Amino acid sequence: METTKTIINYTHRQAGHCESGATSNLFKFNGLELSEPMAFGIGNGLYFSYIPFLKIQFAPMISFRNLPNTVFKRSTEYMGIEATVVKKIKDPKEAMEMLDRNLERGIPTGCQVGVFQLTFFPPEYRMHYNMHNLVVFGKEGNMYHISDTVMEHPQLLSYDDLLRVRYAKGAFAPQGKMYWINHPVDRPIDLKPAIIKGIKKTVYEMIGIPFPLIGVKGLRWMARDIKKWPKKHGEDKAAFYLGQILRMAEDFGTGGAGFRYIYGAFLKEAGEMFNNHQELLEASDMMGRTANKWREFTYIGARNCKNRSKPEEDYGTLSQKLLEIAADEENVYKKLKNLKF
């Protein structure tokens, strides 16, 4: 059997968040240096939703990020860059053939995958989580070369293993989804309009959606619920639920503190791009401090879960701290809403 070998000259750079990292690396490959925070900010990565009546892995569904593929789709769209997203491919074999054809044409390709069966992934994170992203940039015989921005180094994955993770089932199943930038960026791109569009959309999603479980409203709702958890569910379950919030905020692919740092870094870079726009820089500073408050919250929460019998802070105090964070975040979005460029 002859072995085919195609390896694209693609640079793997580790990142805080899988999708904005993949997006940023794909841009770089196509000749446009765009940092991870920029991809994340323009592509509306920031989000919050709390859906208490939907249980994921036995705890209320909480998300600090937008739906899968939002970052790639919106950043390319807002910047006017031709990209392709194939949402759903029915036949797994066909999905692998499409990927191979892309590699032969020299196109590194993003894939949505589930992490449970992702063999190289850190074992402690291998639960049924389907919103992960990686970029395939080569094939050697039966093995694919993979850039996964959670990992320090590029990885290898066999045909069967890659097929399996691309067709993981359950909530947000990837269904073979793949995406790529069509061709190298051959003209100068003015990022400013894209930044403005990105900020406006995120502001809308965080304070403008008239639904109580999304954005800052959702955060407040969760803060009020936390207070009731010990009584309603008992100490053990309350600690488990709290643990899930902390994991969502600090675990793989958030850059820490629920993406708030990455967004702050985006506002900073955006501010510099608009000739040191004073208010954008202030908003970035506010977001940085909010992120630190989040991290402080996760630390206290973690220690609480550790010493369940004699917690440092009760759930009332934790709830209070979250309400404070919600108020801080709201101030950032209100400031951004009134920005003049």
Partner 1 sequence: MGNPDNKAPDKVTDDKDLIYTYNRELFYHFDREKGFTQAVHYQNPDNQVIIKQSWDAAEQRLEEVKQLVLIGKASPVAYYMEKILMEVPMLAAYMEISKWRVKRHMKPGVFKKIKPEILARYAEIFEISVDQLRKPDFIK
User: Can you give the binding site for partner 1, defined by CB under 8 A?
Assistant: 14-16, 37, 57-58, 116, 122-125, 127-128, 149-152, 169-171, 173, 239-240, 243-244, 246-247, 250-252, 255-257, 261-262, 264-265, 268, 284-285, 288-289, 291-293, 295-296, 298-300, 302-303, 305-306, 321
Which pairs from 155-162 meet CB under 8 Å and 24+ separation? Answer: 155/120, 156/120, 157/118, 157/119, 157/120, 159/96, 161/117, 161/118, 161/119, 162/96, 162/111, 162/113, 162/136
Distance (Å, whole) CA 21 – CA 41 = 12
Distance (Å, whole) CA 250 – CA 306 = 16
Per the CB < 8 A criterion, the answer to whether 284 and 267 are in contact is yes
Residues in the chain: 341
Cβ distance to partner 1 smaller for residue 73 or 247? 247
- Residue 156 token pair: 């290898």
Distance (Å, whole) CA 4 – CA 9 = 16
User: What is the smallest separation between the CB atom of 141 and partner 1, expressed in angstroms?
Assistant: 25
User: What is the smallest separation between the CB atom of 310 and partner 1, expressed in angstroms?
Assistant: 16
Cβ distance to partner 1 smaller for residue 97 or 296? 296
Residue 55: beta bridge partners?
A: 60
Cβ distance to partner 1 smaller for residue 163 or 185? 163
User: What is the smallest separation between the CB atom of 60 and partner 1, expressed in angstroms?
Assistant: 14
Cβ distance to partner 1 smaller for residue 16 or 230? 16
User: What is the smallest separation between the CB atom of 216 and partner 1, expressed in angstroms?
Assistant: 19
Cβ distance to partner 1 smaller for residue 197 or 289? 289
User: What is the smallest separation between the CB atom of 268 and partner 1, expressed in angstroms?
Assistant: 6
Distance (Å, whole) CA 182 – CA 109 = 10
Residue 195: burial class (beta carbons within 10 Å; 0-12, 13-18, 19+): buried
User: What is the smallest separation between the CB atom of 283 and partner 1, expressed in angstroms?
Assistant: 13
Cβ distance to partner 1 smaller for residue 54 or 67? 54
Distance (Å, whole) CA 161 – CA 117 = 7
Cβ distance to partner 1 smaller for residue 103 or 262? 262
What phi, psi does 73 have (nearest 5°)?
A: -65, -50
User: What is the smallest separation between the CB atom of 271 and partner 1, expressed in angstroms?
Assistant: 11
